[in-house]
């Protein structure tokens, strides 16, 4: 889009230049000007494309390399707390020491694998719950009248105006033994002793679903809002009951929204630290928590970095693969 | 059967022994304060090709959607094959619809789109396959069976939509502006194809259109709609030659309308004095109007003759000057200015090639017509 104005502009400039050249009786300046215009255009396009690459390079690749470097070193009681990857010995030997022990350690100690699997399990279940709750909500918003729709969308986004941390802390107040729910139930006489909710898996799921629900609703809404209602009418017209029409028309057509929403919930939920730390039991095994403990408890930066890199690879590779196949089937369609 | 040879014999609406297949009884539909369909009563017979014709927003699509079951009438009854449709949801009606936007399922191939309706009927797979194949051959799409809708041209999509709506062999097919998205050549071709298919399958068609040419070509009868009302129901010839009101006369084709009052009212003829012209109109049939009533005399442009010399008749003649000539190839349109800033539209067939005698700009001319060419309208 940005470059679209340029060709027209260059053409105008070349035309003007050419008439000028004709007036003074010069040769064909047009060709050289056109070549220059093309060069400018290529440069402009290159600049626009390079911006996101520069961003990714500075804020993703460089930190990743730093973390990778730490992961390949050994823990040390020093400042910083790991051994350097390379050093000069006697002023002439470059001594490179790569330690793969941290990664080996991750495989040997079942703690890490269990924590990873548990994280994936928690994230997966949370994603499914978010989908089950979020889909009807997104559908309802997409089908509401435009004025009402704006209000409903505002309500979905509203929690973002409060700090995430404060909202999670608020759940402690609601869930704890002498918290809002237990006090209310006891006052009503439904229960005699408080139900333990805080520091359970239930609280972790509740926290994650509560926090990430908008990330499921918004892409689903964006998708469902575009859904042409006459397609459903066509399905009814051809003998579909509403439930069948939903399964055979709405659901397949909203697949991109389901995938986008699930990605947005699943990926951050796997590495989630704050919610299990605040709402979960102390023994809740989640990879984010392990990371925290390794970094700040054990001060073992290399192992922590290895965990981070393993997590990244285990998450990124399946997603990239998935998107690749998606893109390919998308290409085949168009 | 509506075909060219038997056209005149297919007139079930004239036969009191026939029961209508679709019956609308005083159907009204309101959206809030807006009355989309206003007290419409209509009988449509088996194997008819009925066109609902009207400008956009006249309520014709709403009427169609009520027949399909997507909208509930605010009041009145809809009967299909004698059954009241009030509590019948769209998926249980013996009706299929072809949507204006075609509404093809974008995630399904042509075959899957066409098979969709049959799959809901729990037919065996081989039955579905053979019927889909048959239908795709009928609409000449067998070569495109595995394509997705976005890989098809507008005309091909239109035929997929038609095939999909016909596959369940409905007794009644509703078509919402079926040809609107096609270009002129393709539209004319498809009109005849539609008529052929309708003849082959013996389905009752109700077609909504804003295109009078389309309605004229397709329909056994036309219902002209205006702001929710049915202004007139009749065969294309009736609608064109015997319009019931100024609205219908004006909406279908072009027409010249003279306002006047009846000066001589006999059972076999009427004389009308034009209000703004020094001329009389003589009509060779009686008119059902109170004496001294305001009436409108309508005459179609092609029924007016244009000459340089004064014709012998005394009535049905007016003088004027040619203001515009538009050459259309097969005919020419003349706009003739009269006294009092009136303009009359006249069309003349171009019978001679490169006629040197042709009447042209600024000529003084006489316009005249036969006493039988006039339609007298009282509303």
* Count of alpha carbons within 13 angstroms of residue A135, beta-carbon side: 16
Nearest to B80 by CA among B20, B32, B121, B34: B20
In chain A, what residues touch B71 (CB-CB under 8 Å)? none
Residues contacting residue B188 through CB under 8 Å, at least 6 positions apart? B217
B147, closest residue in chain A (CA to CA)? A333
Taking all residues of chain A, what is their mean pLDDT, rounded to a whole number? 86
Query: Best residue in B117, B121, B146, B181 to probe A by mutation, most A CBs within 10 Å?
Result: B117
As a 3-state breakdown, chain B gives helix, strand, coil percent values, each rounded to 5, of: 30, 30, 40
Closest approach of B137 to chain A, Cα-based (Å):
20
- Do A237 and B150 lie within an 8 Å CB cutoff? no
Alpha helices in chain B (DSSP H): 60-68, 110-119, 125-138, 154-166, 184-201, 212-218, 236-241, 246-251
Tell me whether residue A128 is exposed, middle or buried, using C-beta atoms within 10 angstroms of its C-beta: 0 to 12, 13 to 18, 19 or more: middle
Q: What is the pLDDT of residues A306-334, one digit of tens each?
A: 999 988 888 888 788 877 777 766 655 54
B377, B356 in Cβ contact below 8 A?
Answer: no
Cβ neighbours of B368 (radius 10 Å): 18
| Of A200, A218, A161, A163, nearest in space to A279 by CA | A200
Nearest Cα residue in chain A from B172? A237
Chosen for mutation from B99, B166, B173 (greatest number of chain A CBs closer than 10 Å) is B99
A253 touches B: beta carbon within 8 Å: yes
ipTM value, please give it.
Answer: 0.83
Q: State the Cα torsion B123-B124-B128-B130 to the nearest 10°.
A: -140
B103's CB contacts (< 8 A; 6+ apart) are A228, A230, A231, A233, A234, B161
- The partner residue sitting opposite A233, judged by closest CB among B103, B116, B165, is B103
Closest residue to A333, CB basis, from B69, B117, B148: B148
Secondary structure (3-state) at B221: strand
With b for 16 or more beta-carbon neighbours within 10 A and e for fewer, the A25-48 pattern comes to eeeeeeeebbeebeeeeeeeeeee
Cβ A239–B99 below 8 Å, yes or no?
Answer: no
Hey, are the CB atoms on A238 and B116 less than 8 Å from each other?
A: yes
pLDDT score of B6: 43
pLDDT score of A331: 57
The answer to whether residue A3 scores a pLDDT higher than 50 is no
C-alpha span between B49 and B9 (Å, rounded): 14
Would an 8 Å CB–CB cutoff place B343 in contact with chain A? no
Contact A236 B90 (CB under 8 A): yes
Confidence of residue A230 (pLDDT cuts 50, 70, 90): very high
Measured distance CA(B333)–CA(B324) in Å, rounded: 8
Interface check for A247 against chain B (CB to CB < 8 A): the answer is no
CA distances, B160 to each of B111, B127, B138, B150, B290 (Å): 9, 19, 11, 12, 55
Residue-wise over A274-291: b if at least 16 C-beta within 10 A, else e? Answer: bbbbbbbeeebbbbbbbb
Q: What is the CA radius of gyration of chain B?
A: 25
Give the residue from chain A lying closest to B168, CA to CA: A238
Confidence of residue B227 (pLDDT cuts 50, 70, 90): very high
Distance from the Cα of A248 to chain B's closest Cα (Å) equals 9
A297-308 residue pLDDT tens: 888 899 999 999
Per-residue model confidence (pLDDT) at position A21:
45
CB-based contact A129:A201 (threshold 8 Å): no
The C-alpha atoms of residue B96 and residue B166 are separated, in whole angstroms, by 7
Pick the more confident residue, A149 or B263: A149
pTM exceeds 0.80 for this model: no
* Number of neighbours of residue A197 by Cβ within 10 angstroms: 18
Q: What is the per-residue pLDDT for A298? A: 86
CB nearest to A237's CB, from B90, B101, B150: B90
Question: Is residue A2 over pLDDT 50?
Answer: no
pLDDT tens profile B190-217? 888 888 888 888 889 999 999 888 899 8
Lowest mean pLDDT among A29-33, A43-47, A302-306: A29-33
CA distance B294 to B285: 17
Q: Which residues contact B365 (CB under 8 A, 6 or more apart)?
A: B306, B307, B308, B319, B320, B321, B322, B334, B336, B359
Question: Average pLDDT for residues A103-118, to the nearest whole number?
Answer: 89
Contacts of A252 (CB under 8 A, 6+ apart): B107
Closest CA to B355 of B331, B321, B324: B331
State whether residue A238 sits within 8 Å of chain B by CB: yes
- The total of other beta-carbon atoms located within 10 Å of residue B303's CB is 17
Tokens for A8, please give them. Answer: 């027209």
Torsion on CA atoms B217, B218, B224, B225, rounded to nearest 10 = -130
Among residues A111, A117, A126, A123, the alpha carbon closest in space to that of A270 is found at: A123
Q: How do residues B113-132 score in pLDDT, each as one tens digit?
A: 999 999 988 889 999 999 99
Q: Which residue among B101, B107, B120 places its CB closest to the CB of A239?
A: B120
Local confidence band at A19 (pLDDT 50, 70, 90 cut-offs): low
Q: Which residues contact A40 (CB under 8 A, 6 or more apart)?
A: A6, A10
Chain B CB within 8 Å of residue A326 CB: no
Is the pLDDT higher at A146 or at A331? A146
Provide φ and ψ at A115, rounded to 5°: -60, -40
> Considering only alpha carbons, which residue of chain B is nearest residue A236?
B91
Average pLDDT, chain B: 89
Closest alpha carbon to B136 in B166, B106, B108, B107: B166
Model pLDDT, residue A284: 81
Distance CA A231, CA B108 (A): 12
- Contact of B321 with B337, CB cutoff 8 Å: yes
* Residue contact B99–A234, C-beta within 8 A: yes
Q: Closest Cα of chain A to B207: distance in Å? A: 16
Q: Does the distance separating the beta carbons of A241 and B101 come in below 8 Å?
A: no
B117 closest CB neighbour out of A230, A239, A334: A239
Q: Is B96 on the interface with A (CB under 8 A)?
A: yes
With CA atoms as reference, the chain A residue closest to B100 would be A230
Return d(Cα B378, Cα B47) in angstroms, integer: 34
Mark out the alpha helices in chain A (DSSP H runs). 5-24, 30-56, 62-71, 101-108, 110-143, 146-157, 164-175, 180-188, 201-226, 229-237, 242-245, 251-253, 255-270, 274-279, 287-292, 301-333
Residues B284-341: pLDDT tens digits?
A: 888 887 777 789 999 999 999 999 999 988 889 999 999 999 999 899 999 999 988 8
Three-state SS string over A86-120 comes to: EEEECCCEEEECCCCHHHHHHHHCHHHHHHHHHHH
Is the Cβ pair B107, A334 closer than 8 Å?
no
Contact A235 B95 (CB under 8 A): no
> Which of the residues B116, B146, B163 would you substitute to probe the A interface, choosing the one with the greatest number of A C-beta atoms within 10 Å?
B116
Whether residues B90 and A334 touch (CB distance < 8 A) is answered with no
B82 CB near a chain A CB, below 8 Å?
no
3-state secondary structure of A212: helix
Out of B91, B101, B107, closest to residue A240 by CB: B91
Q: Which residues contact B299 (CB under 8 A, 6 or more apart)?
A: B255, B256, B258, B369, B373, B374, B375
A334 to chain B: which residues are within 8 Å by CB? 150
pLDDT for res B7: 47
Q: What is the pLDDT of residue A161?
A: 92
Q: Is B361 on the interface with A (CB under 8 A)?
A: no
Q: What is the spatial distance between Cα B251 and Cα B351, in angstroms, rounded to a whole number? A: 28
Q: Do B103 and A228 touch (CB under 8 A)?
A: yes
In chain B, residues with a C-beta closer than 8 Å to the C-beta of A252 are 107
Strand, coil or helix: B377: strand
- The structure tokens 């990857």 sit at A85
């Amino acid at each position: 889009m940005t470059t679209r104005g340029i060709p027209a502009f260059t053409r105008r400039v070349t035309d003007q230049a050419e008439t000028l050249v004709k007036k003074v009786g010069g040769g064909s300046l047009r060709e050289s000007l056109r070549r220059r215009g093309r060069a400018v255009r290529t440069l402009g396009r290159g600049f626009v494309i390079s911006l996101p690459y520069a961003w990714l390079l500075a804020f993703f690749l460089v930190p990743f390399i730093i973390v990778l470097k730490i992961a390949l070193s050994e823990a040390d009681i020093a400042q910083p707390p790991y051994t350097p990857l390379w050093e000069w010995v006697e002023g002439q030997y470059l001594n490179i020491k790569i330690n793969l022990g941290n990664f080996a350690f991750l495989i040997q100690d079942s703690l890490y694998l269990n924590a990873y699997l548990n994280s994936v399990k928690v994230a997966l279940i949370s994603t499914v719950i978010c989908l089950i709750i979020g889909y009807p909500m997104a559908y309802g918003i997409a089908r509401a009248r435009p004025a009402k729709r704006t209000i409903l969308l505002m309500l979905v986004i509203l929690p973002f105006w409060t700090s995430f941390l404060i909202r999670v802390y608020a759940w402690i107040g609601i869930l704890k033994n002498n918290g809002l729910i237990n006090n209310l139930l006891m006052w009503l006489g439904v229960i005699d002793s408080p139900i333990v909710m805080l520091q359970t898996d239930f609280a972790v799921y509740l926290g994650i679903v509560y926090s990430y629900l908008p990330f499921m609703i918004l892409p689903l809404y964006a998708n469902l809002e575009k859904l042409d209602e006459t397609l459903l009418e066509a399905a009814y017209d051809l003998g579909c009951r509403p439930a069948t029409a939903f399964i055979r028309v709405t659901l397949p057509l909203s697949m991109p929204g389901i995938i986008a929403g699930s990605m947005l919930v699943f990926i951050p939920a796997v590495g989630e630290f704050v919610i299990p730390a605040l709402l979960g039991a102390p023994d809740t095994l989640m990879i984010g928590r392990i990371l925290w403990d390794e970094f700040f408890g054990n001060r073992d930066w290399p192992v922590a970095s290895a965990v981070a890199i393993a997590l990244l690879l285990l998450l990124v590779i399946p997603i990239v693969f998935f998107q690749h196949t998606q893109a390919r089937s998308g290409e085949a369609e168009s | 059967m509506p075909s060219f040879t038997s056209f005149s014999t297919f007139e079930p609406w004239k036969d009191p022994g026939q029961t209508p297949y679709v019956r609308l009884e005083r159907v009204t539909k309101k959206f809030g304060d807006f009355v989309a369909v206003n007290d419409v009563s209509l009988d449509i017979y088996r194997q008819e090709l009925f066109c609902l014709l009207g400008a956009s927003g006249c309520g014709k699509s709403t009427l169609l959607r009520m027949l399909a079951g997507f909208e509930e009438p605010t009041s009145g009854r809809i009967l299909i094959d004698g059954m009241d449709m009030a509590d019948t949801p769209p998926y249980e009606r013996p009706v299929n619809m072809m949507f204006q936007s075609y509404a093809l399922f974008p995630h399904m191939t042509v075959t899957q789109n066409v098979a969709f309706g049959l799959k809901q009927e729990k037919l065996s797979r081989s039955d579905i396959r053979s019927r889909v194949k048959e239908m795709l051959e009928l609409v000449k799409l067998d070569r495109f069976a595995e394509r997705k809708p976005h890989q098809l041209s507008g005309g091909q999509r239109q035929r997929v939509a038609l095939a999909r709506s016909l596959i369940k062999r409905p007794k009644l097919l509703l078509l919402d502006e079926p040809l609107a998205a096609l270009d002129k050549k393709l539209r004319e071709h498809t009109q005849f194809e539609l008529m052929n298919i309708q003849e082959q399958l013996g389905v009752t068609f109700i077609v909504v259109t804003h295109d009078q040419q389309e309605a004229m070509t397709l329909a056994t009868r036309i219902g002209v709609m205006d702001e929710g009302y049915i202004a007139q129901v009749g065969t294309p010839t009736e609608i064109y030659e015997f319009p019931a009101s100024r609205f219908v006369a004006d909406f279908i084709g072009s027409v010249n309308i003279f306002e006047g009052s009846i000066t001589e009212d006999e059972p076999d003829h009427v004389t009308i004095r034009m209000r703004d012209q020094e001329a009389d109109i003589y009509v060779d049939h009686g008119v059902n109007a109170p004496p001294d009533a305001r009436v409108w005399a309508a005459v179609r442009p092609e029924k007016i003759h244009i000459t340089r010399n004064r014709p012998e008749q005394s009535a049905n003649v007016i003088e004027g000057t040619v203001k515009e000539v538009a050459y259309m190839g097969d005919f020419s349109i003349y706009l003739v200015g009269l006294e009092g800033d009136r303009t009359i539209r006249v069309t003349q067939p171009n019978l001679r090639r490169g006629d040197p005698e042709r009447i042209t700009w600024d000529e003084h001319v006489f316009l005249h017509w036969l006493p039988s060419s006039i339609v007298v309208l009282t509303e």
